Amino acid sequence: MKPNILGKQDDEPAHIKWGPPNRYRGPKIRKKIPHKKIIVVLNILIAVIGFPSIAHEADVEKPYYPWDYGTIKAPIILETEITPPEREVQVVTGYGNGSCVPYARERTGILLYGRASGFLAKATSSGYTTGTSPVVGAMMITSEGPGHVAVVESVSSSTVRISEQNYIGLYVVGERTLEIDDPVIQGYIY
């Protein structure tokens, strides 16, 4: 007898299933377990596992709690503080958008806005004096990146010490020393 399209013989009950048509191994009979027996077994398991007092007292170990079980006081939780390593830069969030221009403008009082690359031309048209000699407190214009500004902090016979924002990173204020005749220096605004 061959199974029909639905996988069973026309005269067979619904609880008999046939295997795939290409590998016929005979009927697979599912054994039906009455649901009442399953419920009874589950109730017994729940009673023994879920409620140990129903089981034999001698077979059940009482758990050890290191705290007072009657008032449910939790044990002490220890907290540790992780400290980042020391760095030699100062993070300041008070200078505009974190770029070099707001920092230099705030520190020098020279009120120029826009890109640093055009500051020398803007400075002369705005009434500021420009030059090629470093002076403490002046705004230095460099050709680094799309243009960069810094503040002159100290001057020696061959070097100029500057402070700047956004050379190391956004909002990061740092200091460095340049040679007075460094080719990146375009000029100074006083």
Query: What single string gives the DSSP state of each residue in 140-151?
Result: EEE-STT-EEEE
Beta-strand pair 148-155/159-165: antiparallel
Cα four-point dihedral sign 62, 63, 67, 73: negative
Identify the pLDDT of residue 134: 96
Whether the pLDDT of residue 44 is over 90: the answer is no
More confident residue, 171 or 162: 162
**For residue 121, which of 155, 147, 145 has the smallest C-alpha distance?**
147
Domain map (residue ranges) of the chain: 1-72, 90-189
Identify the pLDDT of residue 55: 47
Side by side, the strands of the sheet bearing 159-165 are: 90-91, 172-179, 159-165, 148-155, 139-142, 185-189, 130-131
Percent of the chain with pLDDT over 90: 42
CATH code for the domain defined by 90-189: 3.90.1720.10
Identify the pLDDT of residue 38: 63
Percent of the chain with pLDDT over 70: 51
Q: Which two tokens stand for residue 94?
A: 């008070």
